[in-house]
Structure 1
Amino acid sequence: MQGSKALILMFDISLFLRHNFARVWALASEKLTSLEIGYISSVMVTELLSPNVEPHQSPNQIRPSILPGIQKLCLSVDYITDAMVGTISQGLVSLTHLDLRDAPLIEPRITFDLTNSGLQQINQHGKLKHLSLIRSQEFLITYFRRVNDLGILLMADKCASMESICLGGFCRVTDTGFKTILHSCSNLYKLRVSHGTQLTDLVFHDISATSLSLTHVCLRWCNLLTNHAIKSLASNTGIKVLDLRDCKNLGDEALRAISSLPQLKILLLDGSDISDVGVSYLRLTVITSLVKLSLRGCKRLTDKCISALFDGTSKLQLQELDLSNLPHLSDNGILTLATCRVPISELRVRQCPLIGDTSVIALASMLVDDDRWYGSSIRLLDLYNCGGITQLAFRWLKKPYFPRLRWLGVTGSVNRDILDALARSRPFLNVACRGEELGVDQWDNSDGMYMHDYDEVDELEQWLMEGEDESDNDEEMANAEINAEPME
């Protein structure tokens, strides 16, 4: 495509012989600036970028640099290794954005792991602005066990101009290492640390004394953090994205500090120890700025948290709300949500045992502003494993309700005929019934303004164009309900 600088391809790299794969990329355009590969082995990356001698060249002739214009590189690999990091840092002279993620199947040996030496090689050309090194625990509980504070000190020495740093799985890095990043990288606006098992409140104790202007902060699975850390962090009043998922020791006082952030757009609090009273502190933030809120797995919350946030409010900005895995949330809470006409486009209430048909009926009947189409704002609705959902709810998932619904999560034990009839009557609707999460990005881009790409034809617009005569589909759904076995 003329003028294109980014390339997105879908093919199985394992089908390539390693030397053939490198040869193919030698033909890539010098104008290519961005490359993302869903999975590739670290050995293939190293061989691809290594300046090997070609078969017909003399030993003194070195192959020209592969991908000389690459500025952004995102790779998912088997292991992040010193050799791979060193080759990337040395060979890609224009690199400004490096995003590496691995998911080991077995505990890495030292030759297939990242060490302090590998970190020291990062940013050899001094142009790097964004660095992400994540060890995923998808297959194995594992960490970067060969990196400690010394490695972070060596890296920070070369990364003073860095604007974004994401580190996941650095279990031996202590407050000393993390504080070095905050005090060395004066341009840092995005900080993401996951599985920081030794990160404590002390990292943020004197953050107000720095010149940092953080806007995106993710501290996921950092279980030593308490309310004191969030109070200190809130001195960065420009924070727009705050991800505190699975920080189990955070409570209501953390929410009181968060409520002072005037520009907050995304707040993720999954699994924290907050109560309905604490949630009430967020009311002003919800009214003025918040676009996405996740309270998933906050076990102490009840229906009162819904009224505390939304009752009596109008013209809300909130578009995405996750209330999944709340054992005390019932239909009454969803009725309050519908009554307040919150213009939600994505609502997740999966694994809520007290949610049932009444919630679906309330949402289907909800009108936002002056829209005459019931439930018209909702594009994603996740009801997976909700305890009270029966065949009655599916009557309210038919036209003309939920005209913009694109994604629906339900329990797999529902009658297959009903689901098939629903799918045929609503061809733009994606139904998930095996418990899969809806709309989750591979790179878990929770520290950015992630929004679904609804580029399909709008179903509501199609109804308006085609008219509302859907008697055949209604009859098919009715027959499916009559013939359905009782739901579990």
Structure 2
Amino acid sequence: MLGKCRYLEDLSLKIKGTEVDSSAFQSIEFSLPRSIKFLKLKPVLENNAIHLANRLRVSKSPSSSGFVLQFLSLLLDVISDRLLVAISKSLPLLAELHLEDRPDKEPSDDRDLTNDGLHFLGSCHFLTDLSLIRSRQNYQGSFKRINDMGMFVLAQTCTDLESVKLSGFSKVSDAGFASLLQSCQRLKKFEVRNAFLMSDLAFHDLIQAPCTLAEVRLLYCGLVTSETVKKLAFSRSLEVLDLCGCKSVADSCLGSISCLQRLTTLNLTGADITDSGLSVIGQGNTPISYLCLRGCKRLTDKGISFLLCGGGAIAQTLSALDLGYIPGISDNGILTIATFGREITELCIRNCFHVTDLALRALATKRWSQDRSKQLCRVDIFNCVGLSADALKLLRKPLFHGLHWIGIGKTHLTSNEDTMITEIQKERPWLTLCFHGCEMECHDGWQFHSP
């Protein structure tokens, strides 16, 4: 197939399944057209990836007949120094490099990524986007052979980076991460996940130099507090702020967030915020379109009222709201959303046990109650045990006009007769009914459900 695509520039291949043969792409390099600029393979073995990189060795000039690969994304069994050596020597024209591994045990010294391996990335002089991820899916491990020295080397050799995504660097401290923020003057996107030694000190000097950051994601960095958020707020260009799992973030920084004029995405999953904190955001000028408050256990229905009825910008801009796993959310909060959340098209209330049929009916008739209200397109009610089996009728026409996806797993809606579900599917062939607890948008063909 590939041998006949002589001018193909973009290729993404993914083998579906949980247990797959990672050597399936072993001979793909023999068929790749030289026009390939974007290549994404999942999964692939480290040895085969090294062999592939060597076969794709490019000439120094983009106008030559050699490969001109500019984007490479691989899901591997392990990321090693040998792999980075092969990539940096063979693909000097790379602008974007995304590597993720999923080892099932601790890699040996000769098959792991170390400080020395990061040094070779300096040979990729066009590199602007770098992603290095050690997944915890198969093994709760990290890049234990990389410390601050490795980050110092990376910061000094790749100063043109505009996007950095790092996960699993458990031995890197504030000094290492701070070196990236200070040396990469063009940095716009900065994401760090599972950095157990990162604290507020990593961002201490952020206010002393012009900050170009537009997207910051600090996921499950337990030592990060509200002080970091206050410093990040000095970046007036900030559009995305993701603090998922940063449990020490509290109300004290929400005043700084409410002043960000460009912020459209805010994730406060698990944060220690209260209804009073939401009132600050509800009165601010921040044009947030996506807000995630999942697992913020101190929030109640009153906070939702403060958020949408505070007279601020968010009432006019909020289109996606996640209130999952909040015990204080009940019908009253959902009724507030149905009445005042005019722009909301995506709503997640999974594991909200006090939501009943009354709330779901209010959402189902949202379009008719307000002429200016937008239709709900995606709703997640997974494990909302307060809903009865009769609530399934609310998915029939003409209610929920415009609905494309709804997650109803572990609710009484799944206990109803199969005939009604069949009728709903016939009436709305475009509607995805998810029974398996997936997050929104699981109909892309790559989601595997248990029988």
1:465 matched residue in structure 2: none
Matched residues in 1 for 2:346 and 2:113: separation? Answer: 39
Q: Which residue number corresponds to residue 307 of structure 1?
A: 305
Equivalent positions of 1:254-403 (< 5 A) are 254-285=253-284, 289-311=287-309, 313=311, 316-367=316-367, 371=371, 377-403=375-401
Structure 1, unaligned runs of 5 or more = 54-64, 443-488
1:173 counterpart = 2:172? yes
Q: CA deviation at 1:69?
A: 1.1
Whether 2:33 is the aligned partner of 1:29: answer: yes
SS in 1 for 2:362: helix
- Correspondence for 1:247: 246
Q: Which amino acid aligns with 1:118?
A: G
Who is 2:434 aligned against? 432
Does the residue aligned with 1:396 lie in a helix, a strand or coil?
A: helix
Tell me if the contact between 1:251 and 1:273 (Cα under 8 Å) persists in the aligned partners.
yes
Distance 1:67 1:167, change over 3 A: farther
Find the partner of 1:44 among 44, 48, 54: 48
Number of the residue aligned with 1:208: 207
String of CA shifts for 1:275-319, please: whole Å, max 9, x gaps.
01011111145x651110000000000001111111265871211
Q: 1:28 to 1:382 in 2, by over 3 A?
A: same
- Alpha carbons of 1:171 and 1:223: their partners in 2 closer, same or farther (altered >3 Å)? same
- Cα distance in 2 for partners of 1:279, 1:37 equals 42
Map 1:60-71; keep pairs closer than 5 Å: 68-71=67-70
> Which shifted more, 430-439 or 163-172?
430-439
Contact 1:364 1:396 in 2 (8 A): yes
Q: Which amino acid in the other structure matches residue 423 of structure 2? A: A
Query: 2: CA distance between counterparts of 1:186 and 1:424?
Result: 55
Following superposition, the deviation at residue 246 of structure 1 comes to: 0.2
Aligned mates of 2:355, 2:23 — CA distance in 1: 53
Q: Please, which of 415, 420, 423 is the counterpart of residue 421 of structure 1? A: 423
Number of aligned residues: 426
Residue 455 of structure 1 corresponds to none
Q: Which one has a bigger Cα radius of gyration?
A: 1
For 1:89-116, what per-residue CA distance to the aligned partner results, in whole angstroms no more than 9, with x for missing partners? Answer: 2111210001111122222222221111
Give the structure 2 partner of residue 86 of structure 1: 85
| Partner Cα separation in structure 1 for residue 385 and residue 27 of structure 2 | 56
Quote the residue 1:141 is aligned against.
140
Q: Give the match's secondary structure for 1:186.
A: coil
* Aligned mates of 1:324, 1:154 — CA distance in 2: 41
- 1:32 shift after superposition: 1.2
Task: Tell whether the 8 Å contact from 2:141 to 2:168 is kept in structure 1 after alignment.
Answer: yes
CA distance in 1, matches of 2:13, 2:55: 24
- 2:61 maps to none
Offset of residue 8 of structure 1: 2.9
8 Å Cα contact 1:7/1:32 also seen in 2: yes
CA distance in 1, matches of 2:364, 2:79: 48
1:461 corresponds to which residue?
none
Q: 1:447-458 residue pairs with structure 2 within 5 A?
A: none
* 8 Å CA contact retained: 1:192, 1:217: yes
Identity %: 35
CA offsets, 1:316-367, max 9 Å, x none? 1211110000001001000011111422111100011111211110111113
RMSD: 2.6
8 Å contact kept, 2:233–2:260: yes
Could you tell me which amino acid in structure 2 is paired with residue 408 of structure 1?
I
Q: Deviations over 1:58-107 (max 9, x none)?
A: xxxxxxx9972111111111111111122112111210001111122222
Structure-1 residue corresponding to 2:131: 132
Structure 2: distance between partners of 1:84 and 1:107: 17
Q: Is the 8 A contact 2:295 2:325 kept in 1?
A: yes
Q: 1:2 to 1:52 in 2, by over 3 A?
A: closer
Query: Cα offset for 1:261?
Result: 0.9
Structure 2 vs 1, CA of residues 260 and 12 (structure 1 numbering), >3 Å: closer, same or farther? closer
Tell me, in whole angstroms, the C-alpha distance in 1 between the residues paired with 2:150 and 2:252.
34
> Residue 28 of structure 1 contacts residue 67 of structure 1 at CA under 8 Å; is this kept in 2?
no
Give the partner amino acid of 1:245.
Answer: C
* Inter-partner Cα distance in structure 2 for 1:244 and 1:128: 27
**Equivalent in the alignment of 1:233:** 232
Between 1:124-133 and 1:3-12, the stretch displaced more is 3-12
Opposite residue 224 of structure 1, the aligned amino acid is L
Shift of residue 419, structure 1, vs aligned partner: 3.0
**Residues 261, 50 of structure 1: CA spacing in aligned structure 2 closer, same or farther, 3 A cutoff?**
same
Work out whether residues 222 and 247 of structure 2, in 8 Å CA contact, stay in contact via their aligned partners in 1: yes
1:8 matched to which residue of 2?
12
CA contact (8 A) 2:101 2:134 kept: yes
C-alpha distance 308-43 of structure 1, shift in aligned 2 (>3 A): same
SS in 2 for 1:100: strand
User: What is the distance in 1 between the residues matched to 2:179 and 2:220?
Assistant: 21
Alignment partners' CA distance in 2, 1:66 and 1:273? 57
Q: Partner of 1:50: helix, strand, or coil?
A: helix
Structure 1 residue 376: Cα displacement? 5.7
Query: C-alpha separation between the residues in 1 aligned to 2:208 and 2:443?
Result: 36
Q: Once the 2 structures are TM-superposed, how far is the Cα of residue 368 of structure 1 from its aligned partner? A: 7.4
